[in-house]
Structure 1
């Protein structure tokens, strides 16, 4: 069983929340400084299986499955998956683990959740690591779309509720091929790893675990203005490491990916606001470099975690 062969894997956790539980897995040392790891859109905690064993094992790493993902409970009927809800899950996990301060590491969507949390609860965050991510999703020139996204999100949930279609059962091979087709940046080995936690075996094949109400990132990302972005990052107390893959994504929606301007604006602002507390590193690889080639990022993350530079203790 792969669970047992992973170096330093401590345990599978289930943290109680009002709608059920948040599932998580822990590595490293229970006595170590805590690092909460947040996966990307539609992924799960196995996103960190290959990276965490390469990091210093005197930290306590906990990777959660966001609500509606992996082995975590789905939200109750009628309740949408908004960005703020995921930020709130981080606060709930910290309370359940009795952590008053911890570091955050987030990939893609998990990074925007981690970034938002770090600005709302700055005194709780020691260090912030963003893997192919940014602390928020900034919308520079598409104000018109923002109301459309909100409208579509509401209509989509109503449609899903009305259709009541049972989840598709497919063969493991078909499931993997479908997954890889939709996730061109994920290697076959890593796709199988995500599906291991992201599916349930039934008599005739596999079904996806995730809640089908979670369909488009636009519905769950909070797009904010430049002005709110600048105001928010001024609240950050934690040092920030942002790792960008050279062949990674620039735009959340993917179709505008040639437009690097919003991400470059966010990076420039982090540099000018945080100064020495901001570290930006480019690595060869694609959006899933932390899974496909974890050794490319492990030493950078290890140095950052072990550096003395941390947020001022809250007085």
Structure 2
């Protein structure tokens, strides 16, 4: 996708891709993500930011755009707006397991993770996303999500912080989420992959409808594809974004 004279900063949140990890003894928390966006905005001395995100990145962008509505030009979210609704008993039952596994992971931060051939990496990524990422699309994720093993230069390992797998999910009260998203006022494009299981629960649909009523510049587009439709079929996604840019004269 090319927008003349518009620079794009592709951001890896802490623990992901090429970004630094949080300190030893810490645990990742999803509400830290909008804080990182604010830190970058302040660092670069930008008056406003324009946000485009997928899944976790989209949820982080939504939280920032709703918390700092005067600091965002526009927001594009792919396949997620908020966290899906979950059974609270299921979440609480998982807490002791997640906390213990995160504690165990703290002792292995300096160790090189298991390494694999690139074909094995592709297969693991493919199956790990429930076949959402096409095998041919894994290479784009692997560019920032893997490193060459120091023990075997023919193999690679997943470079993300293992503690990311044990991030505590904090369900949020419906009234809180509704109050938050009503503050979203910037032009917003939401692209939903029809074949993705995310954001299809009644809670997510209800929250989207609240945004539709409260924000006249909110629009939804539903397209066939999996959760990673933007990677597998970018030609389905990019025209929607470009049309959105043209509609709001977003050229620089």
2:163 equivalent to 1:229: no
Partner Cα separation in structure 2 for residue 124 and residue 192 of structure 1: 34
**1:58 offset after TM fit, Å?**
2.8
**1:150 offset after TM fit, Å?**
4.8
Partner Cα separation in structure 2 for residue 206 and residue 248 of structure 1: 29
Task: Output aligned runs, 1:44-83, within 5 Å.
Answer: 54-83=1-30
Partner Cα separation in structure 1 for residue 79 and residue 8 of structure 2: 19
**Structure 2 unmatched runs, 5+:** none
Alignment length, in residue pairs?
245
Partner Cα separation in structure 2 for residue 138 and residue 235 of structure 1: 19
Name the residue aligned to 1:262: 203
Contact kept, 8 Å, 1:109 with 1:221, in 2: the verdict is no
**Structure 1 unmatched runs, 5+:** 1-53, 252-258, 311-315
The structure 1 residue matched to 2:230, chosen from 267, 287, 290, is 290
RMSD of the TM alignment (CA)? 2.2
**1:148 offset after TM fit, Å?**
4.3
Greater RCO (CA < 8 Å, at least 6 residues apart) = 2
Task: Output aligned runs, 1:119-158, within 5 Å.
Answer: 119-134=66-81, 136-139=82-85, 142-158=87-103
Partner Cα separation in structure 2 for residue 55 and residue 282 of structure 1: 23
Name the residue aligned to 2:115: 169
Name the residue aligned to 1:243: 191
**1:298 offset after TM fit, Å?**
0.9
3-state SS of 2:185 partner: coil
Name the residue aligned to 2:134: 187
Contact kept, 8 Å, 1:138 with 1:225, in 2: the verdict is no
Partner Cα separation in structure 2 for residue 87 and residue 109 of structure 1: 11
Structure 2 vs 1, CA of residues 175 and 228 (structure 1 numbering), >3 Å: closer, same or farther? Answer: same
Partner Cα separation in structure 1 for residue 219 and residue 207 of structure 2: 13
So what's the TM-score if we normalise by structure 2? Answer: 0.88
2:58 equivalent to 1:117: no
2:160 equivalent to 1:210: yes
Contact kept, 8 Å, 2:84 with 2:201, in 1: the verdict is no
